[in-house]
A and B are shown apart, each in its own frame.
Chain A
């Protein structure tokens, strides 16, 4: 779902009540309306019509394979998986595997999420866990809050909700709106401004001092979380407005005390998919330590590749796999370390590993890491903060000329500090929805954040995970 224009929010204002009404009446008509609205939102993406054709073909293949599975033809699972993996590889990995000799000029938005969702559907159907109707498959596959950036929906969880005709009570609207406001604030006010600092730093990583490099690395760790979890909060809020409950995708991941725990808190639906569809079929942890280590490494190499076709993503995945192998091998001894030390070790590892996730290439990653280690102790230059909360800093400078020069560094410090605090808050989107209390303070913050974010939409960047 493209949320970067004000008109898309106006369209949401019309689409949500329409879908809410149609779904509430239940039956195929409600699913049809939801699917049609979702398709319209998808069309607004770059290359939307072509992308929708690819997704429609994928759904048709999944539907055909589900029919085969229903008739006891187990090869339908492999045929469907083969097709979806081949389409994903053709669009996103052809260039990587052919050394750039061949590559697709574009890829449907959200194809990686869509593919894993279809694979999960086939996997669950083969085990008799889920048998969606055509309408349910279409609605689940194109569901507008999640189609471009997740969370990855498990049809077995989603379809029963739409089958019985969700009827959200009036009490659900307030927490849903609060979730949307929180997500907007995370994305527009925090992640996008952190992104400016990050882009400034990555423009020339070799020129950064060590404090500057660490600031950029930490800012990226925060940006990535706030960007993706912000989208998921918005998606959870929009789905809740329709009476649909989405799976949690984040549960305060930067509070994790180990890399293993981090993956139980970060992109939870991807972890669940990989655990059930890759790790368990490979044997999981039941066939000895070495097989377990191999399986962990395979899962995280796939995770790395899923995020992007490049060596930097593979190295990022491998680092996470290796870190978890080390944690397992270390065993109970690691648990005896002080909590603060375990948290710090995990946080430093995650921050360093994100360098490979963000770097344009390996030499860029090494340049950033070199600066972080041997960049000298100079404080970051003002150029690093240029553009952060630009309109606000300009306005502040006009009103208070005395703070004009300090405006950008102060704004950057505020964004990093608030971003860090928000990232470390406990809880998940679903817990936030359940524990919501309609207070005046929440009304003030909800309205303030929403309005500030909507007024900032003209400068909003795209969601990082919509590129995957």
Chain B
């Protein structure tokens, strides 16, 4: 072997870093685990990262409806909306997502397709969160059309490892079709025992939090949503509020936040219903559903049979709130959750 001089060492080092770097980039481009260069195979793909692969879905699919939300929205299948609304739908969900992230993804969707309708799972817990504490985890280099940003995808440790993971899973035949992507029915089970088992009942707090305790955060988050409504006034926005279980209201009661949460819902309805291009579908008052804990995996996440029924009912508008009547609906909910005999939940299990 020839002696390694400084000159030869430097040349070899540069050549190897460049060569191996290009090899890594080529491997990522070929496998393309985040669907940046090719559309996913609808019959079988490896799904593992909603934020990274969401960009690929928005970029490569053809759609006029965007279905979007947090983990509560993940348990829907896009083709339900294709059927119920006679449309083409892409589903993009970000667990614990922030409104800034959803806004960025929406902007990207508008830059990719002619979006006519947005169906958005509006999660009151996320509305109540301080925007400063919300995550910002979208891989930005995937959510734009700048080809120079692709370098951050191609020369990326995560993407490289995910490429290897994708190849391994495909070799093992462990793939899912696109409709099952990120759906947790099948991986997660729903029963009264599981819902109660994962619920830590808080100690009772007094006094109650003031009714405006959550309003500042709610208004800050809603202002982001209002930006979407004003920027895309031709788009039909269908917001829906998922049926949190009665355990959620038990938590609100015991932590003294019932009035604050109801005020948040009222603020949300008042703000959004002022827009002509908005529908607000409200499932929190589906009392049969929320009191039947067999529908839940925990105090929030609801089974596929319920999400299917909700999706089916959306086009009928039967759960829509209206400017004239939303206060009555919320008053009715207040009466229900304030007067509910929460001890019954545990007595039933005894």
Q: Do A and B bind each other?
A: yes
A contacts, CB < 8 Å to B: 5-7, 10, 170-175, 177, 181, 391-392, 394-395, 398, 436, 438-440, 442-443, 446-447, 450-452, 454-459
**Judging by beta carbons under 8 Å apart, are A174 and B24 in contact?**
no
Chain A binding surface SS class = helix
B9→A455 contact, CB < 8 A? no
B157 surroundings in chain A (CB, below 8 A): 391-392, 452, 455-456, 458-459
Known contacts A452-B157, A455-B155, A458-B156; is-contact A443 B6 (Cβ 8 Å)? no
Closest 8 pairs between A and B when the two form their complex, measured CB to CB? A438-B9, A174-B6, A455-B157, A173-B10, A174-B10, A171-B6, A395-B161, A174-B9
B184 to chain A, nearest CB (A): 19
* Contacting pair A177 B8 (CB below 8 A): no
Q: Which of B10, B20, B155 contacts A177 (CB 8 A)?
A: B10
Which one, A171, A391, A450, A451, contacts B161 given CB within 8 A?
A391
- CB–CB B17/A451 < 8 A: yes
CB nearest neighbor in A for B18: A13
Q: How many angstroms from the CA of A10 to the CA of B21 in the assembled complex?
A: 12
Q: Which among B17, B155, B160 is the interface contact of A447 at CB below 8 angstroms?
A: B17
Q: Which residues of A contact B41 (CB under 8 A)?
A: none
Shortest distance in angstroms between B290's beta carbon and chain A's nearest beta carbon? 32
Residue picked from A5, A6, A392, most chain B C-beta under 10 Å: A6
A398 touches B165 (CB 8 A): yes
B168 within 8 A of A: yes
B4–A175 touching, CB < 8 Å: no
9 contacts between A and B (CB under 8 A): A6-B155, A171-B7, A391-B161, A394-B161, A395-B164, A442-B9, A446-B13, A458-B156, A459-B157
Chain A residues whose CB sits within 8 angstroms of the CB of B152 once the complex forms? 5-6, 457-458
Among B4, B7, B139, B168, the residue within 8 A (CB) of A173 is: B7
Contact A443 B12 (CB under 8 A): yes
Q: Which residues of B contact A10 (CB under 8 A)?
A: 151
CB-based nearest A residue for B151: A6
Within 8 A of A (CB), among B290-342: none
Contacts of A459 in B (CB 8 A): 157-158
- Establish whether residues A443 and B13, one from each chain, have CB atoms under 8 Å apart when the complex forms: yes
Cα A455 to Cα B161 in complex, Å, equals 11
- Choose one: B4, B12, B148; the contact of A7 (CB below 8 Å): B148
In the bound complex, CA of A174 to CA of B161 (Å): 30
**A45 CB to nearest chain B CB (Å):** 18
Residues of A within 8 A of B161 (CB): 391-392, 394-395
What class of interface size applies to chain B in its complex with A?
20 to 34
**Residue contact B158 to A458, C-beta cutoff 8 Å:** yes
Residues in B whose Cβ lies below 8 Å from that of A170: 6-7, 10
The interface of chain B, by Cβ under 8 A from chain A, is 4-10, 12-14, 16-17, 20-21, 24, 139, 141, 148, 151-152, 155-158, 160-161, 164-165, 168
A69 to chain B, nearest CB (A): 43
The total of interchain contacts (Cβ-Cβ below 8 angstroms) comes to 85
Q: Is the CB of A438 within 8 A of B4?
A: yes
Report Cα–Cα, A151/B13, bound state, in Å. Answer: 27
Of chain A, the residue at the smallest CB distance from B152 is A458
Give the distance in Å from the alpha carbon of A452 to the alpha carbon of B17 in the complex.
10
Contact call B9/A454, Cβ cutoff below 8 A: no
B17 touches which one: A172, A392, A395, A450 (CB < 8 A)?
A450
State in angstroms the CA–CA spacing of A439 and B12 once bound together.
12
Establish whether residues B156 and A395, one from each chain, have CB atoms under 8 Å apart when the complex forms. no
- Expressed in whole angstroms, the minimum distance between the Cβ of A219 and any Cβ of chain B is 22
**B9: which A residues are within 8 A, CB to CB?**
174, 438, 442-443
Shortest Cβ distance from A399 into B: residue: B168
The residue in A173, A451, A454, A457 that gathers the most chain B C-beta atoms within 10 A of its C-beta is: A451
**Chain B min CB distance to A408 (Å):** 16
| Contacting residues, chain B, for A5 (C-beta < 8 A) | 152
* Complex CA–CA separation, A443 to B17 (angstroms): 10
Report the separation of the CA atoms of residues A304 and B93 in the bound assembly, to the nearest whole angstrom: 46
The CB with the most chain B CB atoms within 10 A, among A173, A446, A455, is that of A455
> Within 8 Å CB of A394, what residues of B?
161
Contacts of A440 in B (CB 8 A): 4
| Distance between A176 CB and nearest chain B CB, rounded to angstroms | 8
The docked-state distance in angstroms from the alpha carbon of A394 to that of B151 is 22
B151 neighbours in A (Cβ, 8 Å): 6-7, 10
Once the chains bind, are A177 and B7 in contact (CB under 8 Å)?
no
Cβ of B89 to closest chain A Cβ, rounded Å: 30
| B13 lies within 8 A of A455 (CB) | no
**CA–CA, A380 to B164, complex, Å?**
32
Which chain B residues lie closer than 8 Å to A446 at the CB level? 13
The residue that A398 contacts in the complex, of B4, B24, B168, with Cβ under 8 A, is B168
Docked complex Cα distance between A442 and B4 (Å): 11
Contact A451 B20 (CB under 8 A): yes
A174 touches B141 (CB 8 A): no
Given A170-B7, A438-B5: A391 and B12 interface contact (C-beta under 8 Å): no
New A-B contacts (9) at CB < 8 Å, excluding given A6-B151, A438-B8, A458-B152: A170-B7, A171-B6, A174-B6, A174-B10, A181-B13, A392-B157, A395-B165, A447-B13, A455-B160
